[in-house]
Amino acid sequence: MEENVVGNSFTWFKRFNGQIAEMTEEEQFAFIPEVVLWAAFGREPSFMDAKGDQTARYLKQAFLGMKSDLDNSIRSQNRNTGGAPKKKKASGKKKGTGDDNPPTEPHFYSLNQTKPIQTKPIQEKKRESKPSFSLQCLKALNEELRGVAPVEFTRNPNGEYVASLEGRFTVDDVREMVRFKRKEWEGTKFQQNLNPGTLFSPDKLEGYVIASKMKEPTKSISGRKVMDDELASYAS
């Protein structure tokens, strides 16, 4: 006659979930069934003998942290029921007890239900990406000098200085300054100075921005007129 094996009844404590939640999903699938089989039928977990495997050592430590509570739970359940029989003859009737439904499965589902919450901060970080003030100014310079400068500039040697001006000037202020200097220098020997090294120089940028707000460059007989202070600066 066929016989069914009846395992021990035990309690899956809620505090176990905090420890399991720190594991990866793969580690959970390897760990939880082994613990249940040990508690219900006394089968030694396979990770207890794995010496060189780092994951197995981690699972072993987690199990040892739960083992004492599970032992106490099994002994308590056996005292209340007079001892759980190991084997029972099959019969036509199914006799159910309050201990036949350990609260393990609901806790397993709750672990999986909490995982989607962990992805929210990652999605928020992706939406926060924005070019720095210095890079925005370099982009504006390239747009205004297109067709005049021989190349598109990919590096700003004065990037840290430009970044320090955020809040004092806007990207539009810098754009207007570049446009102003292009009108003033294009077609003159100073056209070669239409670059981030000169226009964003700590000695000149603020003065250029202020000048661009005060007046437009005027034409001279030779083509373009450069401000006297700039002529003196470049002549030295």
Question: Mean pLDDT, 10 residues at a time, over the chain (236 residues)?
Answer: 66 82 84 86 81 78 84 82 55 55 47 49 61 92 87 86 92 94 92 91 92 68 45 45
* Same-domain pairing of 51 and 118: yes
Residue of 60, 57, 75, 212 lying closest to 144 (CA atoms): 212
* Same-domain pairing of 107 and 182: no
How far from the centroid of its chain's Cα atoms is residue 9's Cα?
42
Task: Provide the number of structural domains found in the chain.
Answer: 2
* Same-domain pairing of 139 and 30: no
What pTM value is reported for the model?
A: 0.40
C-alpha 196/C-alpha 25 separation (Å) is: 51
Whether 128 is in a domain gets the answer no
C-alpha 35/C-alpha 16 separation (Å) is: 11
Say whether 45 sits in a helix, a strand or coil.
Answer: coil
* Same-domain pairing of 213 and 165: yes
C-alpha 229/C-alpha 226 separation (Å) is: 8
Cα dihedral angle (83, 89, 95, 97), rounded to 10 degrees?
Answer: 20
* Same-domain pairing of 24 and 113: yes
| DSSP structural state of residue 47 | G
* Same-domain pairing of 7 and 117: yes
Whether 174 is in a domain gets the answer yes
Give me the pLDDT at residue 171, please: 93
Give me the pLDDT at residue 127, please: 59
* Same-domain pairing of 112 and 201: no
C-alpha 30/C-alpha 7 separation (Å) is: 20
C-alpha 141/C-alpha 197 separation (Å) is: 11
* Same-domain pairing of 77 and 138: no
Give me the pLDDT at residue 162, please: 92
* Same-domain pairing of 145 and 69: no
* Same-domain pairing of 154 and 81: no
C-alpha 196/C-alpha 201 separation (Å) is: 7
* Same-domain pairing of 185 and 77: no
* Same-domain pairing of 70 and 145: no
Give me the pLDDT at residue 52, please: 65
For residue 83, give its domain range: 3-88+102-123
Whether 219 is in a domain gets the answer yes
